[in-house]
Amino acid sequence: MEDTTLEALIADWRSMVETSLQEHLASPEPILDPYMGMMHYHMGWVNREFRPIARFVGKRSRPLLLLLACRTLGLDAEKALPAAVSVELLHAYSLLHDDIEDGDEFRRHSPTVWKIWGIPQAINVGDGLFGCTFRAMAGLHGTGFGSDTVAVAMSMLIDTSIALTEGQFLDIDFEQRTRLSLDDYTRMVQGKTAALFGTCLACGAHLSTNDGPMRERFRRLGEQTGIAYQMLDDINGIWAHANDTGKAPHQDIRRRKKSFPIALAFGDRNIGERILALYNRDMKPENVEATLALLAAADIRERCLHLYGLQQVAIRRTLEEIGRVLHLEGRSVDLLAEFIGRLLSVPDLR
């Protein structure tokens, strides 16, 4: 039995993570204020005039996952704070560059950094955040971890940062391809989303225990969660109501994004060729409608939800496996399971 609610933990940790993020991104000298200001804008703390605002800054799911892994395995989460900050900074940098690469003009209803300050500054601000990611992780030296432990955490971070770029390469590359299999899609998601989710849980486990197999169970759980998370994001990108996600309706189709439902549709013997033909043209409104109709005819939404359900089963199995081992030590995986459940809940679809 847990003596605290997930709600209370999340509120507590979000504020702890936010404070630490702000300390890590404090401006070192006045001449750099506008530089750090662009980072602060991207983090959701200030407006384009660099004045503080109160707005939704993001769910901070990745740091929360890392801290939950620590708590689940009995480590005081505060000790792992530098690692939690680090994974959020890595995520933030990758979003900033993704916005440029995808030509996205808005993020959470606000103009993106490149849209306001131009592509050159935006690339460079992302690079700065990337550097700060590693500096944050090195902060583990100051919370009581030995150099060997920090070195392993650092290597996990480095490998993940490279995996992210591999996934992003495939994502951009797929835009040019006419064919795409579900395997290709899965490989892409492995890099783009699953690697970082895996590292959040594996790094939390690494900081908490020397139990190698346990660390790998946590990594597996994180990767499975990451894949499910991306599947859901892709389902939402076509069928979610705009207000739920901040995305324009059918956004992924209008941008001919070769996402999970489309990879599935490409492989369908009835509609595959026709979807392919549509996707290789300009995506005019009537083509969006035609694509949606084809997807509906082949039950793609339902098949996506079915595969998504199977992925959730796999996650539940890993959670149970971890739970059985922890039970012997008088620990529980319940809060972690509850948090993952929230991350992966499906909103009402169109």
Residues that bind its own copies (CB under 8 A): 31-32, 34-35, 97, 100-102, 119-121, 123-128, 130-132, 134-135, 138, 141, 146-148, 150-151, 154-155, 158-159, 161-162, 164-166, 168-170, 172-173, 184, 187
Whole-number CA gyration radius for the chain:
21
Q: How far is the CB of 181 from its own copies (least distance, A)?
A: 11
The nearer residue to its own copies, 119 or 248, going by C-beta atoms, is 119
Name which of 114 and 239 has its Cβ closer to its own copies. Answer: 114
Residue with smaller CB distance to its own copies, 100 or 346: 100
Which residue's structure tokens are 């500096």? 135
Smallest distance, Å, CB 172 to its own copies?
5
**Max CA distance (Å), the chain:** 62
Q: Least distance in Å: CB of 198 to its own copies?
A: 16
Q: Which is nearer to its own copies, 159 or 244 (CB)?
A: 159
Q: Which is nearer to its own copies, 191 or 291 (CB)?
A: 191
Q: Find the shortest distance in angstroms from Cβ 173 to its own copies.
A: 7
Report the residue number, 79 or 274, with the smaller CB distance to its own copies. Answer: 79
Q: Is the CB of 134 or the CB of 314 nearer to its own copies?
A: 134
Parallel, antiparallel or unpaired: strands 110-111 and 106-107: antiparallel
CA distances in angstroms from 61 to 121, 222, 251, 338, listed in the order given: 27, 12, 23, 13
Nearest distance from C-beta of residue 65 to its own copies, angstroms: 21
Task: Find the shortest distance in angstroms from Cβ 161 to its own copies.
Answer: 4
**176 or 345: CB nearest its own copies:** 176
Q: How far is the CB of 154 from its own copies (least distance, A)?
A: 7
Residue 236 beta carbon to its own copies: minimum distance, rounded to whole angstroms: 23
> 3-state SS of the chain?
CCCCCHHHHHHHHHHHHHHHHHHHCCCCCHHHHHHHHHHHHHHCCECCCCCECCCCCCCCHHHHHHHHHHHHCCCCHHHHHHHHHHHHHHHHHHHHHHHHHHCCCEECCEECHHHHHCHHHHHHHHHHHHHHHHHHHHHHHHHCCCHHHHHHHHHHHHHHHHHHHHHHHHHHHHHHCCCCCHHHHHHHHHHHHHHHHHHHHHHHHHHHCCCHHHHHHHHHHHHHHHHHHHHHHHHHHHHECHHHHCCCCCHHHHCCCCCHHHHHHHCCCCCHHHHHHHHCCCCCHHHHHHHHHHHHHCCHHHHHHHHHHHHHHHHHHHHHHHHHHHHHCCCCCHHHHHHHHHHCCCCCEC
